[in-house]
Amino acid sequence: MMDVKIIIKILCLFACLHQRFAECKKEHDSAFDAGLNDAPNFKESKPVKYLLYNVNPGEGFNLRRDVYIRVANLVKLLNDDEPWALVLPPWGRIYHWQTREISQVKLPWSLFFDLDSLRRHIPVLEFEEFLAVSKEPVIDEVYYLQRYKEGWKTWAEKMDIRDCLEKHGYTKGKDNHWHHWFFGYGDEVYAKKFECMSYMGHAGFIKPFLMHNTSDSRSVFLDRAESLIHGQYSEWSPLYWSGRRSMVYAKHLRDIGDNFREKYLGSTDKKDKTELDDWTKMNKKHGDAKGGPYLAIHLRRKDYLYAHGNEIPSIQHVPGKVKPILKKHKLKKIFVATDAPDEEFEYLKQEFGDKVKVYRFKPTPEEHEKYKDGGVAIIDQWICAHARFFIGSYVSTFSFRIQEEREILGFEPEMTFNRLCNDDSETCEQPSKWTIKY
């Protein structure tokens, strides 16, 4: 059950948003005041509207973080004209979260991310906070985004309400309401309206539809939101990076990673020049960060052996490919973030010998229960992000998020955008350098 103080705070916040925004801004601490210098000044009194979304169940944790940025920047565009808040979809049932011993449903974003930081970019609230401020557990409109049945030969932004092309899991009950899983809240939450929408376009393209075709609704749900592409708000744009920089990891996870770095890797922010400040005030240049005295590797195994076996080295060839890098950068410690079985990790430790120490983060059962698979993954990413030199896995979104984190911290691209070649190659195409834009 939510803390009473939190409920009161949320109720006050969104009561405030029902007033004229200019008056609200003077008198209250609203979500729209969260560090934004360009907060809109709405000319007419408008109630806040809520945008909800979900992603294909098969998508992983790190791809979902990319979709969040697309939807968050859509909300930022909407707020140029009227007040919208983004409702964060609870985490759970993700393919790579395979630990069966712990419950991993209805997980709030605060478990993984700093909500105050997210709110410096756009107004956000947890799903349970949305339920707390709603008069009833209802979503007014649901749009299931899908492809065009006829396909497309040339790119052209368009959207149309169409017949549904695939099974979507929404059912209409005798009560004339639409029912669905809704993140595990399906026993209490329902929707008034459901339609399928064939969609081809960037995230901002749906803005006029949301403003003018849903004007009588307070809440709109976009399912399969990965259909909204970055478009002009791509990885290289300042708007993308504002959304990405706001995604600061939760402090309790950063603290665990920092303690591990200091205890085993001789790494602290002060020595490594990786201090993290309010992202709205940070403007680090390449080379500002030095990094801890260790090399970090994200080493994907398991399903990657089948999906990308021709692009990654066998476990037997990893030490031979890494040792020259250690020698070049005068490093004697390695941190490995990997899904490899214990015997493969022990093999690596043995092959590197006594002169090179090899570490991985192994949570206690209590830590795993408390922070879930997602929290453990973030701790791994946080430690990798602070290494002197980073080696990622081929086309892995887990590695992409680490590379972005290192860009935010101010590392040289040459120390970040690297991968190991397969057994038969000494050289191969390295990751694209998606550098930060302010």
pLDDT at 39 over 80: no
Is 13 inside any structural domain?
Answer: yes
Confidence of residue 29 (pLDDT cuts 50, 70, 90): very low
pLDDT digits (tens, 9 = 90+) for 315-334: 999 999 999 999 999 999 99
Contacts of 225 (CB under 8 A, 6+ apart): 53, 54, 55, 67, 70, 71, 145
CA atoms within 13 A on the CB side of 384: 30
CA-based nearest residue to 195, from 216, 208, 214: 214
Average pLDDT in the 40-61 region? 81
Confidence of residue 176 (pLDDT cuts 50, 70, 90): very high
61-67 contact pairs (CB < 8 A, 24+): 61/91, 61/94, 61/96, 61/97, 61/374, 61/377, 62/396, 62/397, 62/398, 62/400, 62/401, 63/226, 63/397, 64/94, 65/247, 65/401, 66/397, 67/225, 67/226, 67/228
- Asked whether residue 217 falls in the same domain as residue 284, the answer is no
Q: Does the active-site annotation cover 195?
A: no
- Asked whether residue 35 falls in the same domain as residue 75, the answer is yes
Is 423 inside any structural domain?
Answer: no
Start-to-end CA span in the chain (Å) = 40
Average pLDDT in the 339-365 region? 95
Q: Residue 385 in contact with residue 253, Cβ under 8 Å? A: no
CA-based nearest residue to 437, from 230, 229, 248, 235: 235
Active-site option among 59, 195, 367, 412: 59
Q: Residue 388 in contact with residue 415, Cβ under 8 Å? A: yes
Report residue 281: phi and psi, to 5°: -110, -5
User: What total of structural domains would you count in the chain?
Assistant: 2
pLDDT digits (tens, 9 = 90+) for 296-316: 999 998 878 778 878 889 999
Q: How is 114-125 classified by DSSP, letter by letter?
A: -HHHHTTTS-EE
Percentage of residues of the chain with pLDDT beyond 70: 88
Is 228 inside any structural domain?
Answer: yes
Q: How far apart are CA 327 and CA 218, in angstroms?
A: 60
The SS3 of residue 31 is: helix
Q: Which domain holds residue 350?
A: 250-415
Last residue of a domain, one of 243, 275, 297: 243
pLDDT digits (tens, 9 = 90+) for 231-288: 765 545 888 999 999 999 999 999 999 999 999 999 999 999 999 889 999 999 999 9
Is 433 inside any structural domain?
Answer: no
We report the CATH number of the domain holding residue 298 as: 3.40.50.11350
- Asked whether residue 40 falls in the same domain as residue 166, the answer is yes
Pairing assessment for the beta strands 292-299 and 158-162 based on DSSP bridges: unpaired
Last residue of a domain, one of 243, 272, 306: 243
pLDDT at 12 over 60: no
Average pLDDT in the 360-382 region? 94
Confidence of residue 22 (pLDDT cuts 50, 70, 90): very low
- Asked whether residue 362 falls in the same domain as residue 220, the answer is no
Compute the mean pLDDT over every residue in the chain, rounded to the nearest whole number: 88
We report the CATH number of the domain holding residue 157 as: 3.40.50.11340
Is 422 inside any structural domain?
Answer: no
| Angle, helix 365-385 to helix 251-265, in steps of 10 degrees | 70
- Asked whether residue 25 falls in the same domain as residue 59, the answer is yes
What Å distances lie between residue 19 and 8, 9, 13, 16, 280, CA to CA? 17, 16, 11, 6, 27
Contacts of 120 (CB under 8 A, 6+ apart): 34, 35, 36, 246, 278, 279, 280
Q: pTM for this one? A: 0.89
- Asked whether residue 37 falls in the same domain as residue 139, the answer is yes
